[in-house]
Structure 1
Amino acid sequence: MTSSATAITGSMDYTMMAVQADSTTQLAASSTVGGYVFGDDPSKRAQLKNRSDVTFDFRDFRPLMPHFLLGTRSAHPVPLLSPYHRFWFSDGIEVVESQSLGKMVLQYQQPAMADGTSRSANFSTGPKQATECFAFNLYGMRLGCSSAESECIFTLKGLRFDVGSSTNIEVATQVVHVPACSSSNHKLQHVPVTDFVSLSSVTISLKVEGEDQMWWADEIALGWSDNSWEKTSCRAEVPDTIRSRDLMMAGKKWRRWIGM
């Protein structure tokens, strides 16, 4: 298992106003991390989704209710239902609108357990964790947490499915110190990671002065570990979808609840 600690300083600040691509940007392969972005051009995405690196930037989500209907400056969070592009996200992870960016970002409030511990967030390849062709690499993401002054201390763990024990084992850990940000509209810091390869699952936990806090994430950069013809063909057998119908139904229920 590898372990490292990363301090994110102001010199690496990325404001959420700095957008890599708007909604009209054409989908194209790239040699950089996050070779294409989901949600821009479905026809080209279909050609690349089984081979290329990808960046989850959650542009294929919309708020359940606009701000002017809610009468507030914060849109209602959208539940992130699994599977999302063949990845499964743990319960409690939501997608919420950042007004400064005009797009959605991940949001998670770590629930306290009865024994006093907290539950980490997790994303994985779900029922395909034991399938070799779905092993993936994590390259980095943008992170921030709800804190007025104290820094956010994130712990990222990469897990790999072990055939012998039929369980996920920890193979990489990285502790990241991120400056405070009080809301999803503030700066999210770019956090690169190393040695997060051939994974089946990633967990994210946070402490601020030893306490749990809400945190946000965006631009999760991933890539498939093996892009051979055999493994690519294996991945192609599983549809790359999001549960948009569920989101539409959730929106209808919300509108009925407020009497629209």
Structure 2
Amino acid sequence: MEKNVKMTKKIIPALLLALSFSSPVSASSKVNSILPSGKTMVMENLEAWKFGESLDELNSMVMMPSFNPYIKDRKGSTALDYAVINKVKPIEYHLKKEKYKYQYRTASKMKYSDFFSDDLKIGLLKAIAAGALPAVKEFLVKHPDFDLNFELGAGITPLAATALIHDIDLAGLTFVALTEAGADVNQVLVRQGGAGLGHVFCAKDNFLMMLLAISKGYDINLRNKDGADVYEYSYQSGSLYCGQHLENIMNSLNEQVL
């Protein structure tokens, strides 16, 4: 009897140790596997996800160190493509940050002279769109009185150009640098039919940039040429994240926080 007790004491710790390692390893190895559908677990979950559902499971999968965002399905689509198509914006933010990290790392090393020569306006827009934040900051230091509220082309302003940056953190830092240097968050984009920054960001359901603009004084009551404010425009364009956040803001202003 005593021998059995001793043996049990040895087996139980060994079993617990095995169980503690088996689950994570199994999950991490499966996350990149191509399933019979021709898709990965992440792809299938992105395709099945509905707005308003929890993202905990998807978040845990894409945050695994072993997760490979570059794996493609049979048609050549990646997890990022699935996130964009199925409008899973929080996952899209994360996967875009991963996809473009090397591009923006290179851009951060670009010099002021790589962008600015004769036309400072065009140079500034190019530097912003490229995600070259050091060059943008150097420009703002060298030209402290430069008017940052110009509009070129089909309605591109320095602040609107931040919507072209795929890394949400880099976009936010660039946006803040421009506003602190005098860029107007309530500038009307004449060449975009009177749209405001909120309309620009919410066209792609970029709710984090919209919230940043609001934190810097953006007026959510500004209307575009069709008479729609950013909340109305969000639902017209199917931008559910922007619409939900704006609804929460408006309800909180009415002391009816959802």
TM range (shorter): under 0.3
| Structure possessing the higher relative contact order (Cα contacts under 8 Å, 6 or more residues apart) | 1
Bigger share in strand: 1
* TM-score normalised to structure 2 length: 0.26
* TM-score normalised to structure 1 length: 0.26
